[in-house]
Amino acid sequence: MHLGSEIATFLRGPILMTIGTRDAEGRPTVARGSGVALSQDGTCATILISEFLWPDCIANLRDNGRVAATFVRPDSYRAFQVKGHALVRAVRDDELAQARDYVLMSRAFLVSLGVPGSMVDWWLTARDVVAADCGIERAFEQTPGPRAGRAIP
């Protein structure tokens, strides 16, 4: 499936992302992303992930590629989740710069919402980022409320 232009715009904003993967035994793990870019045709989301903070996530993606990723605006809680398969690769220079920009932008945004910057520094980093190209198979609404979980056509 592909994601529309509205979601592409949303992904360029100050969003937080969470990545779910699982190991060969089916045990899931959580990670945070450090940047995302949607492909031109909207079928692939490239998520940047710090292997320093989230080695298990990267190991799982290398093992089986199964991925769920949630994108949320911390000011409005508007959120959606995509599911698919991901391939891990090294980042390009422009992607490393993108991760650094993302960390700065999101940190500033969270600080504007009253979250101390020293707290954000534990969560968001461009250190040792790798790229996960996620082929999007399904997408779901995840804004809190009764519509959470509904499939996005």
The site for another protein (CB under 8 A) is made up of 18-22, 26-30, 50, 52-53, 64, 66-70, 72, 74-79, 81, 83, 113-116, 118-125, 127, 142-149
CB of 5 to another protein, least distance (A): 22
Please identify, using beta-carbon distances, which residue of 114 and 153 lies nearer to another protein: 114
Cα 148 to chain centroid distance, Å, stands at 18
**Cα–Cα distance measured from residue 23 to residue 60, given in angstroms and rounded to the nearest whole number:** 5
Please identify, using beta-carbon distances, which residue of 48 and 120 lies nearer to another protein: 120
Please enumerate in sequence order all residues whose Cβ is within 8 A of that of 84, keeping only pairs 6 or more positions apart, or say none.
Answer: 67, 134, 135, 136, 137, 138
Nearest to 49 by CA among 130, 133, 134: 130
CB of 40 to another protein, least distance (A): 26
Q: Find out whether 129 and 94 touch, Cβ atoms under 8 Å.
A: no
Please identify, using beta-carbon distances, which residue of 41 and 151 lies nearer to another protein: 151
Please identify, using beta-carbon distances, which residue of 24 and 40 lies nearer to another protein: 24
CB of 37 to another protein, least distance (A): 20
